[in-house]
Amino acid sequence: MRYYSTRNQDNSVFSMEAIIKGIAEDGGLFVPESFPALPKLEDMKGLTYKELAKLILGMYFDDYPEDDLDEAVNGAYGDKFGNREPVRLVEKGGVNFLELFHGPTLAFKDMALTILPYLMRFALHNKGIEEEVVVLAATSGDTGKAALEGFRDVPGVNVLVFYPKGGVSQLQRLQMITQRGENTHVLAIEGNFDDAQKGIKDIFGDQEYNNELKKEGYVLSSANSINIGRLIPQVVYYVYGYLELLRDGRIEAGQEINIVVPTGNFGNILAAYYAKMMGLPIDRLICSSNDNKVLTDFFETGTYDRRRDLLLTSSPSMDILVSSNLERFLFHISGNDHEAVRMMMEGLTREGYFTWSDFSKEEIYGEFATEEEVASSIRDLYDKEGYVMDPHTAVAYSVYRKYLKETGDSKPTIVASTASPFKFPEKVISSMGKDVPQDLFTGIGMVAKAMDVEIPIQVRELETLPVLHGNVCKKEEMRDMILKLLQEVK
């Protein structure tokens, strides 16, 4: 399997190199040359999550030795998830919530960022790369902690995470600034997520800076979903969710379902699209946005326009105006027209917008939910079913309710539940009509009581862990800070 750049099909590599690079030299994202076909659903019905992951990853990452993939899957999806199946499907409120937050950092990013360090380490070894890898990540909340935890103390790898100062939840910030590990670095950026993401993309495209790093013994890679090693593992849980419905007798083999995904950077819903292209019986993909509804407007009008203020919401992982993975989607639906994609991406950078004249609304249904609608969904589902959602999942559920009212389409539906309610206690508590306590951990206790579960150790320990990271920088200082922190490690 070869991987092309979305901006130049002549630029192709195998999966190991794509994972190490993270992003193509021309600024494009790596995409697979084709979508492998899934085996018959009945033949996969008895597979565990690990077995399914080995099957799907082996289709895409076929230059990895089988033993390496076995070790990666077993290491990623074992004790880090309590030695249980990492994904759980819960039927509530007329839909099936695919709970993706049972990993070490309580967010769906764990599903890929527990395995990416293995994939990268094996790729570096097999390719004989002697330089240390510097993994850069921009985060709007969850990717940062998952990347830090996933790459913590991995030999030959340094990980640097940039997050928007004031643009993540209290708990997300605590998770990052208390991160242990000699090779981990966390920096608050004076700006928003898009500033951090653009800064990292610019650094990847700065050949002079990359040459300077190479002289110091470093090469760059990425932990964001722009890295194909992040995206492909996410395909697995959609297939697993379908098989769970099949195993429970809620659908028949081949019956179509709908999938609803809260999204900002478009990676999670793109993984569902990949599953559909592999033959998973998916009818509608429903793209759910918060008040930063740049994707909703795109799917309605065909024009992608980032020329608007970024709003800070209760679902910070979706507070994004430049959805990087949309580039991959446009490449696929354009018939691999890399010239058109390159022109649109250049237009987005230069002018702040582009128009896709051939776009079909049938591809993806897009809608958004306001803060009031999110609160209403959290309250309603808790009152009726005793089930607690985080605000990101509530965005998706709110949009699903709009879709159902508009279309009457009652097909079996999976909602990607992307984060634990423990990560956003303020919104959860206020949505239930209760007073939000000033103390974060008092609020977390209230969430635990509502969920009738114990507070996870990953959350409890944050109350006493020391703060280890306090760096703050401006977006134009990112390059200097990277070099400074790497020199301190040496």
Q: Tens of pLDDT along 19-71?
A: 999 999 999 999 999 999 999 999 999 999 999 999 999 999 999 999 999 99
Judged against a pLDDT cut of 70, whether residue 360 lies above it is answered with no
Judged against a pLDDT cut of 90, whether residue 445 lies above it is answered with yes
Cα-trace Rg, the chain: 21
DSSP 467: P
Q: Tens of pLDDT along 165-217?
A: 999 999 999 999 999 999 999 999 999 999 999 999 999 999 999 999 999 99
CA angle 311, 313, 315 (to 5 degrees): 130
Using CA atoms, how far residue 467 sits from 11, 33, 107, 175, 361, in Å, is: 43, 45, 21, 10, 47
**Mean of pLDDT values over 78-89:** 93
Judged against a pLDDT cut of 80, whether residue 490 lies above it is answered with no
Enumerate domains of the chain plus CATH numbers.
Answer: 88-106+235-456 (3.40.50.1100)
Judged against a pLDDT cut of 90, whether residue 427 lies above it is answered with yes
The pLDDT, as a whole number, for residue 357 is: 75
* 30: β partners: 5
Contact present, 388 and 307 (Cβ < 8 Å): no
Give the tokens for residue 165.
Answer: 């100062």
Which residue in 111, 92, 91 sits closest to 100, CA to CA?
111
Judged against a pLDDT cut of 90, whether residue 141 lies above it is answered with no
The pLDDT, as a whole number, for residue 363 is: 75
Residue whose token pair is 């360090």: 117
H helical segments located in 97-227? 110-113, 116-127, 142-151, 170-177, 193-204, 207-215
Q: Tens of pLDDT along 251-272?
A: 999 999 999 999 989 999 999 9
The pLDDT, as a whole number, for residue 361 is: 64
* 162: β partners: 138, 187
Q: Is 3 helix (H, G, I), strand (E, B) or coil?
A: strand
Judged against a pLDDT cut of 70, whether residue 338 lies above it is answered with yes
Name the E strands within 315-447. Answer: 353-355, 365-368, 413-417
Element containing residue 435 per DSSP (H, E): none
Burial profile 168-190: b = 16 or more Cβ within 10 angstroms, e = fewer? bbbbbbbbbbbbeeebbbbbbbe
**Mean of pLDDT values over 299-317:** 95
Element containing residue 161 per DSSP (H, E): strand 157-164
Element containing residue 451 per DSSP (H, E): helix 440-451
Give the tokens for residue 61.
Answer: 């990452």
The whole-chain average pLDDT of the chain stands at 95
Q: Are strands 413-417 and 184-189 parallel, antiparallel or unpaired?
A: unpaired
Phi, psi of 37 (to 5 degrees): -85, 135
Judged against a pLDDT cut of 70, whether residue 359 lies above it is answered with no
**CA atoms of 226 and 147, how far apart (whole Å):** 13
Q: Return the sign of the alpha-carbon dihedral for residues 355, 342, 266, 201.
A: negative
The pLDDT, as a whole number, for residue 130 is: 85
Count CB neighbours of 99 within 10 A: 21
Q: Are strands 353-355 and 95-99 parallel, antiparallel or unpaired?
A: unpaired
**CA atoms of 435 and 136, how far apart (whole Å):** 39
Q: Is 166 helix (H, G, I), strand (E, B) or coil?
A: coil
Residue whose token pair is 């429903």: 286
Give the tokens for residue 202.
Answer: 């610019």
The pLDDT, as a whole number, for residue 224 is: 87
Name the E strands within 74-113. Answer: 88-92, 95-99
**CA atoms of 118 and 57, how far apart (whole Å):** 13
DSSP 386: -
The pLDDT, as a whole number, for residue 343 is: 96
Which residue in 113, 323, 65, 329 sits closest to 221, CA to CA?
113
Give the tokens for residue 451.
Answer: 């969920």
